[in-house]
Amino acid sequence: MTDRQQGFLFLLGFGLCIPAANWLIGHVGTVCPPGGPCLIPVAPGVMAPSGVLLVGLALVMRDLVQRRLGLGWAAGAILAGAMLSALLAPPSLVLASALAFLLSEALDLAVYTPLQRRGLVLAVALSSMAGLVADSLLFLWLAFGSLDFLLGQVLGKAWMVALSLPLIARLRRAESEGAPRA
């Protein structure tokens, strides 16, 4: 598979994370209170809306889109993702969802871009952490005027980033050995 083909697969994965996260938040969780988000445990005694898992994965996928298709495709994906997020979010969360997505993915891009030449795993880890903290802070504040779920939001997204890093390291090794880049 060529770099470009892989890039389009990463782009598809990035795009699918958005509707999947919106669906999860309303349908999957160990607790689904009426009118509230479905919650999952992300650490002992710490709950988070279930959509956080795919938000963390989206940050990683965006980095891989940029790696394969370039900065222009990544920036376009962010704008399209923000619009998609606004279209799919419940009416009460449209502004919070779209702005948090736009800011967090733009911050991820800003951190990832200069670091990517120093090492893919480091760039993905640090840019994703910056993006997931920004997303959590902004979304919770705009949506609820509260940071009550901040720890859960950050932990849930961080789990997905951490789980993706071994794959990122494997892709980086393959790249250094002359296989297609990741």
pLDDT, position 156: 95
Among the listed residues 111, 138, 113, the one whose alpha carbon sits nearest the alpha carbon of residue 127: 111
Max Cα separation, the chain? 53
* pLDDT above 70 as % of the chain: 98
pLDDT, position 107: 96
Distance CA 84, CA 92 (A): 15
User: Is residue 75 over pLDDT 60?
Assistant: yes
Higher pLDDT among residues 27 and 89, named by residue? 27
Least confident of 25-34, 77-86, 90-99: 90-99
Section 74-103 average pLDDT: 87
Arithmetic mean of pLDDT over the chain = 90
For 120-176, write each residue's pLDDT tens digit: 999 999 999 999 999 999 988 998 888 988 999 999 999 999 999 999 999 888 888
Q: How confident is the model at residue 182 (pLDDT cuts 50, 70, 90)?
A: very low
User: Is residue 118 over pLDDT 70?
Assistant: yes
Q: How many helices (H) and strands (E) does the chain have?
A: 6, 2
pLDDT, position 46: 96
Burial group, residue 145, by CB count within 10 angstroms (0-12, 13-18, 19+)? exposed
pTM of structure: 0.87
